[in-house]
Structures are given as structure tokens and as C-alpha cells.
Structure 1
Amino acid sequence: MTKIFGHRGSAGTHPENTMISFEQAYKDGADGIELDVQLSKDGIPVVIHDEKVNRTTDSKGFVQDLTLRELKQLNAVHKFKKQYKHAEIPTLEEVLDWASRKQTIVNIELKNSILPYAGMEEKVLELVDKHKMAHLIIFSSFNHYSIARLNTLAPKIEKAVLYMEGIYKPWDYTKWVGGSGIHPHIKAATASIIHRSQQSGVPVRPFTVNDEKTMKRLFAEECAGFFTDYPKKAVQIKYQN
């Protein structure tokens, strides 16, 4: 059964990577949520997509130059100012605390392919262990060194390589770097790639799937899952088939 992941929560309709957005994705019936992790100046894993706060908050600067206290003072309502007065940047700990109570799957994307956050893997794993979430976690990263590192540190937790363009035999490649799944851009997720990969025991979860036609194709192909900004729409399509 194809699993639906709320991409940064319900990012199409709510402020991305905030508790408002994650809670909405859960209410909408998503099987899981996807979020992005950076590190604050004081080394705390925080949930925000960009290396800078410019796009999604009312401030400017690099996440890594701001302490958690400074980040918490920012307003992350992004383009949804009319609907919401305020939304905080959550810590990963806050999201995992909530997700562990809901028992919902969390795809944690480590945003360490542009800035090399030292010790990010260990810090994130520590929080996953603390909240006893290992069975509900999927790690992903465009930095495949990080996937290899995570595999050394936590071989039993599911990991997937993120990629944009064609990789030769990605189902073999992910195993080679220590992953067990693949998360390709939807344009790189052909029917053949999905079929051959899943026949090799490697689940495929493309991103970011927002149109109805593609959603229907992925359900028909029994793709393992996909990431969408509109989980409510995806859930409706899934159950009208």
C-alpha cells in the first residue's frame, strides 16, 4: 500500500516545517511527515529547510549563525500571514516528542550537503533514541556520505538516498552507500525504475508529487510511497480508487 508523506507537513496549505503543518498532515490522514534538519549556532537540531532563515521567516541570516533562543524568536508563518499570526521554528526534539505520541512515521532529511554540520548524525540519532522512535524513522540526505555515516552508527534504522538525476541501478547504489531505499525526484522515478528497484527489495518514494495524474500513476504502480505538499488531496485520491 503506497504511503503518503506530508512534505514539510502540509506545505501547500500551511507554513512549512512548523507544528501547524505537521499536525495538519496528520489530521489529513498522511502516513507520515517529512522534515528538514539544520543545526543552530549552539548545535541544536532545528527543523527548517533552507540554510538561511530569509525565505521562511521574518528575519535574515544563516541558521548556523543563530542560537536556538534567537531562532525561537522568529516568525516562520512564511507566505501564510493571512491565515496565521505566528509559527515557531520547531526543534527536532519537539517534533519527535509529538510524533512519538502519535506513532506517525517521520522522514528526517539531513540538510548537510551544502554546509557540513559537524556531528549532525550523532545529535539526530541521540534524539531518535531518546524518544524510542527508531522503528518509525526514515533518514534521507543528498549527502550520501551522511547516509554511509548513519549506516555505521545505526545500521537498523531505514535510510534512503535523495537524488535529482538518473543514477545507474539506484537500487544497487543505495545499498553500496549504506541505504535501503531511494528517494528520487519524480522526474527520475520512471515506471521501470520503480518496478526494478522494488523487485530488488528497495522501496521507492519520489518527491515532490503534487498533481493528481502522477499520484494516480504511483498508486497504480504500487510505489512504496511519495512526498506531497498536499497530503489531504493524496489521501482522497488513494481511497477513491
Structure 2
Amino acid sequence: MTQIFAHRGYSASFAENTMGAFFEAEKAGADGLELDVQLTKDGEVVVIHDEKVDRTTTGSGFVKDFLFKEIRKLNANKKGLKKEQIPSLKEVLEWLQTNNLICNIELKNGLLPYEGMEEKVVQLVRSYGLSNRIIISSFNHYSIVYSYRIAPEIETAPLFIESIYMPWVYAQSIRSKGIHPKHSAMSDNIFTNTMDNGIAVRPYTVNKEADMHRLFNINCTAIITDDPVKAIRIRKQYENRL
């Protein structure tokens, strides 16, 4: 059965990468979450997608230039009535101890190098006893390899924006148990071959019904979607076939 990961939480209807969006994803019945992490000026791991706070919060400037206590004052729910803080990764991991969700932590270190980010994330995941429910992903594959080296017990998965030749061979070569490709970048054949070679395939960001049908049809490992409610509704059509 294809798992459903809520992309930045239930971001189709709630402020992305906030505790509210994560709570609602769990309520909706998602199997897992996808979230993004950056580091504040004082080295706190915080959950936000962009390198700057401008798009998703009431503030402006780079995440790396805010102290944790400063970034917590921003409202990460610009359009909603209820104020939402930018969560710390600690806060999310603490909450994950109360449920069974899988969590894909994307390291946002492609543009900014964020010294020590991998160690900080690994140490937090271990301290909350969640190593078996976390997947670390990144477009920065050097970071993925480094994460595996320091924590071989935590699953890793490289992110891809374009197709690559025999992605299962590449994944095996860097000791990753999965790949997270852009859903439109690879054919069904490549996806099924990858899974047949023991590598999980979790494409992003799958929001259109036709794309969901395509991936449920080949029994893809998981999909990463902004709308877990829609995905669960469509997945029900496939449940009787298995």
C-alpha cells in the first residue's frame, strides 16, 4: 500500500511547516510528514523551507541571521487568524513521540552550507529515540552521504529534480534506502525497476488526481503531497485491488 506523506504538513489547507499543519496531517490520516530544516544564528534547528523568512512569515531576512528567540516572535501563519510560530525540530520530534508517523527531514543546505547541521539533526533524532521513523533527504548529496556515515541507522534518500540513469544503482552506491524524485522526472518503468531493486521511491510533490492515480497504480512506495485528504480519498479506490 502506497504511503502518504504530507508535504510541509497539510499545506494545501494550513500554514506550511507549522505545528498546526502537522497536527492536521495526522488527523487526516497521513502516514508521514515531510518538513524542511535550517539553522538559526545561535545554531537551533528550525522548521522552515526558504532560506529567508519573507514568504512564509511576517518577518524579513535570512533564517541564519535570526537568533532562535527572535525567529520565534514571527508569525508563520500570515493568512490565517491563529498565530503560528516557526517550530523547532525539538518541538516536532517531541510531538512525534506521541504518534506513529514517519518523518522525512529535508536538510536545506544546498544554497547555504550550515556548518554542523547533520550532527545537530542526528543528535536530536537519537535523543528522542526516533531513528527508525526518520528519513533524512537533501538535494545536497554530499550531506546525505555524510549523514549516513555519522548515523548509518537513520535512513537517507537523495532528492532529484531530473532523471538519472539507473537511480537504484546510484542509491545503493551512497547507501541510501530510497530516492525522492520529482514525480514527473522519471517514468513508471524507472520507478518500478528501482523498487524491484529494493530501493523505496517517494516522489514529490504529487497534487493532481491524475498523478496520484499513476503512482497508486504502480504501488509506489509513497507519495509526498500537499493534500493528504485528497490522496487518501483516491488511495481508497486501490485498497480493494491489493
Contact 1:52 1:61 in 2 (8 A): yes
- 2:117 aligned to 112, 115, 120, which one? 120
Aligned to 1:178: 175
Distance 1:109 1:203 in 2: 16
Aligned to 2:96: 99
Q: After superposition, what is the alpha-carbon deviation per residue over 1:58-110, rounded to whole angstroms, capped at 9, x for unaligned?
A: 110000000100000000013x33xx331100000000100121121100000
Contact 1:145 1:177 in 2 (8 A): no
SS of the residue aligned with 1:75? coil
- Superposed, 1:209-228 pairs within 5 Å as 209-228=206-225
> Alpha-carbon deviation of 1:178?
2.9
- 1:167 aligned to 141, 164, 167, which one? 164
Dislocated runs of 4+, deviation >6 Å? none
1:233 and 2:230 aligned? yes
Contact 1:37 1:109 in 2 (8 A): yes
Distance 2:6 2:153 in 1: 24
AA paired with 1:237? I
AA paired with 1:112? N
| TM-score (structure 1 length as normaliser) | 0.97
SS of the residue aligned with 1:187? coil
AA paired with 1:184? P
- Superposed, 1:23-102 pairs within 5 Å as 23-78=23-78, 80-81=79-80, 84-102=81-99
Aligned to 1:132: 129
- 1:196 aligned to 181, 193, 202, which one? 193
Q: After superposition, what is the alpha-carbon deviation per residue over 1:130-180, rounded to whole angstroms, capped at 9, x for unaligned?
A: 110011001100000011101101112111000101111111112222312
SS of the residue aligned with 2:51? coil
AA paired with 2:77? V
Structure 1: stretches of 5+ with no match in the other structure = none
Contact 1:160 1:183 in 2 (8 A): yes
Q: Percent identity?
A: 50
Matched residues, number: 238
Distance 1:204 1:107 in 2: 13
Alignment RMSD, CA only? 0.9
Distance 1:212 1:110 in 2: 28
1:20 and 2:16 aligned? no
Distance 1:61 1:91 in 2: 18
Q: After superposition, what is the alpha-carbon deviation per residue over 1:15-63, rounded to whole angstroms, capped at 9, x for unaligned?
A: 0000000000100000000000000000010000000000000110000
Aligned to 1:149: 146
